[in-house]
Amino acid sequence: MKIILMMAITLDGIIGKHKSHFADWTSREDKQLFMDISKEVGVVLMGKNTFDTFSKPLPDRLNVVFTEEDKAGMEGVMWVKGDIKEVIKRLEEKYDTAILGGGSYLNSLFLKEKLINEMMITIEPKLFGSGLTLFTDEYDIDLELIDIKKLNNNTINLHYKVKYDTI
């Protein structure tokens, strides 16, 4: 299964001021790009903190929420815990691609397991100074630029392939 990390960051590399900060600071064009691609793919992977910033599940796609809590009974949501590789194996029965929508802890788990194939990072013209970064751990991984899109006069989206070290 191809996993595409899709996130918006400020120019200083912050994805949110704190774990419950809703991404209402991103541009309309970034939201539209996320909506279009995630609906086309059909499944979005996220941590519980990210999911909790929404008022309801993202419509017209499966919301896969990683949590250690026992949850059930919400339409359009698949609550999961345990080995992320096992979760991906289950999803591969129905999906070819998934969008990883954060947060930083879950992003780091996927990167550590070398499960992220591509990254689509929107850079918004904002500065927060401090807050949550794209990842929680330190890495040294090369990326290969696939595409650059100007979403509006001030916002760009960078699309990268992740090049894991094969040695």
Q: How far is CA 78 from the centre of its chain?
A: 16
pLDDT at residue 19 is higher than 90:
no
State yes or no: pLDDT of 98 exceeds 70: yes
Residue 136: predicted pLDDT: 93
**Are 30 and 38 a contacting pair, CB within 8 Å?**
no
In this prediction, residues 101-122 reach a mean pLDDT of 96
Q: What is the mean pLDDT of the chain?
A: 93
Tell me what pLDDT residue 70 has.
75
pLDDT at 22 over 90: no
What three-state secondary structure class fits 87? Answer: helix
Is residue 102 within 8 A of residue 4, CB to CB? The reply is: no
Name the CATH superfamily, with its identifier, for domain 2-163. Answer: Dihydrofolate Reductase, subunit A (3.40.430.10)
Task: Count CB-CB contacts under 10 A for residue 1.
Answer: 15
pLDDT at 166 over 70: no
Residue 107: pLDDT band with limits 50, 70, 90 = very high
DSSP 3-state assignment of 105? helix
Distance between CA atoms of residues 154 and 28, nearest Å: 12
- The proportion of the chain whose per-residue pLDDT surpasses 70, expressed as a percent, equals 99
Average pLDDT value for residue range 36-56 = 93
Lowest-confidence region among 14-23, 112-121, 134-143 = 14-23
Helix %, strand %, coil % of the chain (to 5):
20, 35, 45
The overall pTM is greater than 0.85: yes
- The pLDDT, as a whole number, for residue 122 is 98
**Residue type for 123, please?**
I
Burial class (CB in 10 A: 0-12, 13-18, 19+), 107: buried
Whether residue 73 has pLDDT greater than 90:
no
Rounded to the nearest 10°, the torsion over CA 132, 138, 142, 148 is 10
Tokens of 2: 């191809």
Give the contacts of 126 (CB within 8 A, at least 6 positions apart): 10, 11, 25
